[in-house]
């Protein structure tokens, strides 16, 4: 029995700030940062946008792309590290504003940047077992970096929703298999009540990102007896442009395979949205029969790898909701003072 | 606004659900339980608006109420929905770009919050159709 993606929808706020503008304020060298991070600008939420509003917009886009009856959704799971409430689920807001309530189960997921793919895996299980008809799995974040911290150059806002089902005729893509690799690793964290996360330094990727992404990716390919050349596209978690490019070459994937899904240079790191928006951007341009390899990473730490095969139905649904490329086009650029106001970094008396 | 009062109208506010009189075809938002034209003969049913509409009139708010200071200047408008009813709502756009007759569509946003400790209120605002 197949399980896979019935529909998907992405959302990116329309505002951007350029790396040059942030570097100007802190007296950093913008050119060194841009070539080091391979990020040139990042999305900024509006003053009245948060993880819940972004998740709702993504969910609505996914529902309208497929025209499914929202009442068929039996589970709503929202993955984020910036849920607006410490206690009170984002997923109930999403479920109600998507028209899916009240007969469903819902919960919020947390696993740094891979909470959204963990939600996809949970929905795959519930759908495959027959417990639910359709599951809605979301990754959304309004990522925070402390002013002046290295993370401030990449912490962005965006989200993406996937409707998971198991009726072959409804799937735009079959999820052929998934594999996870998880250890307890203190590479990045945020304590309860603290506004900004802490991390082990700007370029500490080895024990976190690279170890978990490569082990999850290799594990899945060994399990499925596939190799990088079996795939048309590949997407890896994108905290910056450097990490996914490097991990791709470590694993034997080419630039051509990762480029369609590499949205971070113009979007920044959307945390729980990162890898999943990359998959959406790839689905936006994939052909029926194409195969996509994807691996999400979450600090703390773990990797979730997926093998995805695109079906004929993609052609029918693709144009019915905004593509990631359209969401990235024609942004409104803001300066640092407006950015700070949007992010609530300064309080207006 | 009290938590209970907000919550009672939440589904209507989240999803632009109003009512429609099946007898005369009139649409109502916010929802009405009685058709003022048909009275007792009216047949009221729930109706979900698609949210597309246009700006009937607007004003630009420079001095905001408590909690909205960091949004000024912002646009408050009366939106006429395609099906007929009109409602007052914030329009998210640059104040100099709004005009009467501008086509708008709904977008899910934070409407406000009760300070740092209270509830966060969500619902629809409007953005230009060409956005
Ligand atoms: Zn009537």
3-state secondary structure labels for all residues of B83-120: CCCEEEEEECCCHHHCCCCCEEEEEEEEEEECCCCCCE
Instruction: Pick the more confident residue, A237 or A197.
Output: A237
The answer to whether the Cα torsion of A169, A170, A173, A177 is positive or negative is: negative
- Are B76 and B112 in a shared domain? yes
Q: Give catalytic status of residue A212 as yes or no.
A: no
Using the beta-carbon criterion (under 8 Å), do B109 and A49 form an inter-chain contact?
yes
- Are B38 and B57 in a shared domain? no
- Are B71 and B122 in a shared domain? yes
- Are B62 and B23 in a shared domain? no
CA proximity to A202, closest of A153, A247, A157: A153
Residues 6+ apart with CB under 8 A from A120: A137, A162, A164, A175, A178, A276, A304, A306
Q: Give catalytic status of residue A113 as yes or no.
A: yes
Report chain A's mean pLDDT, rounded to a whole number. 94
**Residue-level pLDDT at A12:** 98
pLDDT beyond 50 at B7: yes
In this prediction, the answer to ipTM > 0.95 reads no
- Are B13 and B75 in a shared domain? no
Answer whether B11 touches A (CB < 8 Å). Answer: yes
A330: left (phi over 0), alpha (psi -120 to 50) or beta: left
Q: How many CB atoms lie within 10 A of CB A316?
A: 12
Answer whether B15 touches A (CB < 8 Å). Answer: yes
CA proximity to B13, closest of B98, B102, B110: B110
> Which residue is closest to A57 within chain B, CA to CA?
B108
Instruction: Pick the more confident residue, A253 or B1.
Output: A253
For B92-120, write each residue's pLDDT tens digit. 999 999 999 999 999 999 998 888 889 99
- Are B66 and B5 in a shared domain? no
Domain ranges of chain A: 4-172+315-342, 174-314
Encoded tokens for B70: 């960091």
Beta bridge partners of B35: B39
What average pLDDT does this structure show over A86-104? 96
Cβ-based contacts of B111 with chain A (< 8 Å):
48
Q: Is the bond preceding A301 in cis, omega lying within 30 degrees of 0?
A: yes
Assign B60 a pLDDT band (cuts: 50, 70, 90).
Answer: very high
What CATH number did the domain enclosing B67 receive? 2.40.50
Beta bridge partners of B91: B75, B126
Assign B65 a pLDDT band (cuts: 50, 70, 90).
Answer: confident
Q: Give catalytic status of residue A192 as yes or no.
A: no
Length reported for chain A: 349
- Are B13 and B59 in a shared domain? no
**Residue-level pLDDT at A346:** 54
For A155-203, write each residue's pLDDT tens digit. 999 999 999 999 999 999 999 999 999 999 888 888 887 778 887 764 4
pLDDT beyond 70 at B131: no
Q: How many CB atoms lie within 10 A of CB A305?
A: 28
Instruction: Pick the more confident residue, B11 or A155.
Output: A155
Encoded tokens for A3: 């399980």
For A18-61, write each residue's pLDDT tens digit. 999 999 999 999 999 999 999 999 999 999 999 999 999 999 99
**Residue-level pLDDT at A349:** 36
Strand ordering across the sheet containing B27-28: B27-28, B17-21, B44-48
Share of chain A above pLDDT 90, in %: 86
A99: left (phi over 0), alpha (psi -120 to 50) or beta: left
Encoded tokens for A253: 């994937």
> Which residue is closest to B70 within chain A, CA to CA?
A348
- Are B86 and B126 in a shared domain? yes
Beta strand ranges found along chain A (DSSP E):
4-11, 15-18, 41-44, 73-79, 105-109, 134-142, 157-165, 173-182, 188-189, 198-199, 233-236, 291-298, 302-310, 332-333
Pairing of strands B17-21, B44-48: antiparallel
Domain A4-172+315-342 - what CATH class?
A: alpha beta
Q: Under CATH, what is the fold of the domain A174-314?
A: Peroxisomal Thiolase; Chain A, domain 1 (3.40.47)
For A123-139, write each residue's pLDDT tens digit. 999 999 999 999 999 99
| pTM listed for this prediction | 0.95
- Are B42 and B65 in a shared domain? no
Same fold, A4-172+315-342 and A174-314: yes
- Are B17 and B57 in a shared domain? no
Q: Find the CB nearest A52 among B11, B107, B122.
A: B122
> CA A222 to CA A215: how far, in whole Å?
10
Assign A348 a pLDDT band (cuts: 50, 70, 90).
Answer: very low
- Are B11 and B66 in a shared domain? no
Domain count, chain B: 2
Q: Given A41, A49, A83, A113, which residue is catalytic?
A: A113
- Are B55 and B112 in a shared domain? yes
> CA A271 to CA A280: how far, in whole Å?
15
Question: Which of A48-52, B7-11, B40-44, B72-76 is the least confident region?
Answer: B7-11
**Residue-level pLDDT at B72:** 86
Phi and psi at residue B3, in whole multiples of 5°?
-60, -45
Structural domain containing residue B1 = 1-48
């Amino acid at each position: 029995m197949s399980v896979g993606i019935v529909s998907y929808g992405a959302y990116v706020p329309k505002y951007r700030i350029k790396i040059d503008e942030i570097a100007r304020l802190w007296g950093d060298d913008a050119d060194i940062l841009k070539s080091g991070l391979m990020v040139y600008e990042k999305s900024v939420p509006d003053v009245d946008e948060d993880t819940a509003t972004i998740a709702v917009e993504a969910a609505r886009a996914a529902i309208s792309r497929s025209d499914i009856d929202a009442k068929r959704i039996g589970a709503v799971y929202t993955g984020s590290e910036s849920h607006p409430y410490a206690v009170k689920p984002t997923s109930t807001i999403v479920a109600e504003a998507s028209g899916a309530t009240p007969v469903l189960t819902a919960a919020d997921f947390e696993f740094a940047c891979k909470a959204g793919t963990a939600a996809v895996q949970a929905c795959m299980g519930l759908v495959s077992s027959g417990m639910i008809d359709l599951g809605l799995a979301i990754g959304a974040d309004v990522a925070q970096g402390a002013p002046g911290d290295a993370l401030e150059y990449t912490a962005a806002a965006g989200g993406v929703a996937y409707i998971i089902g198991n009726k072959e005729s409804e799937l735009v893509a079959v999820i052929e298999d998934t594999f996870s690799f998880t250890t307890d690793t203190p590479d990045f964290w945020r304590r309860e009540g603290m506004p900004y996360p802490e991390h082990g330094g700007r370029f500490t990727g080895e024990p976190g990102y690279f170890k978990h992404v490569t082990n999850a990716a290799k594990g899945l390919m060994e399990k499925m007896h596939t190799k990088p050349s079996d795939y048309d596209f590949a997407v890896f978690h994108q905290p910056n442009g450097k990490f996914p490019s490097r991990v791709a070459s470590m694993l034997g994937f080419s630039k051509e395979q990762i480029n369609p899904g590499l949205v971070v240079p113009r979007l920044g790191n959307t945390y729980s949205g990162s890898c999943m928006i990359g998959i959406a951007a790839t689905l936006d341009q994939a052909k029926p029969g194409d195969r996509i390899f994807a691996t999400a990473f979450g600090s703390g730490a773990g990797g979730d790898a997926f093998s995805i095969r695109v079906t004929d139905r993609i052609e029918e649904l693709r144009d019915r909701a905004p593509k990631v490329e359209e969401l990235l086009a024609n942004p409104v650029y803001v300066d640092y003072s407006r950015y700070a106001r949007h992010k609530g970094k300064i309080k207006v008396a | 606004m009290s938590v209970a009062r907000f919550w009672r109208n939440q589904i209507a506010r989240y999803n632009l659900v109003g009512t429609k009189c099946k007898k005369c075809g009139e649409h109502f938002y916010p929802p009405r339980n009685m058709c003022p034209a048909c009275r007792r003969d009216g047949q009221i049913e729930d109706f979900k608006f698609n949210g597309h509409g246009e700006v009937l009139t607007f004003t630009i708010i420079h001095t905001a109420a408590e909690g909205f200071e960091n949004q000024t200047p912002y646009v408050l408008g009366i939106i006429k929905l395609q099906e007929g009813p009109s409602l007052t709502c914030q329009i998210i756009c640059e104040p100099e770009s709004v005009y009467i007759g501008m086509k708008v569509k709904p977008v899910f946003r934070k409407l406000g919050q009760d300070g740092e400790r209270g509830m966060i209120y969500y619902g629809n605002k409007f953005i230009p159709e060409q956005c």
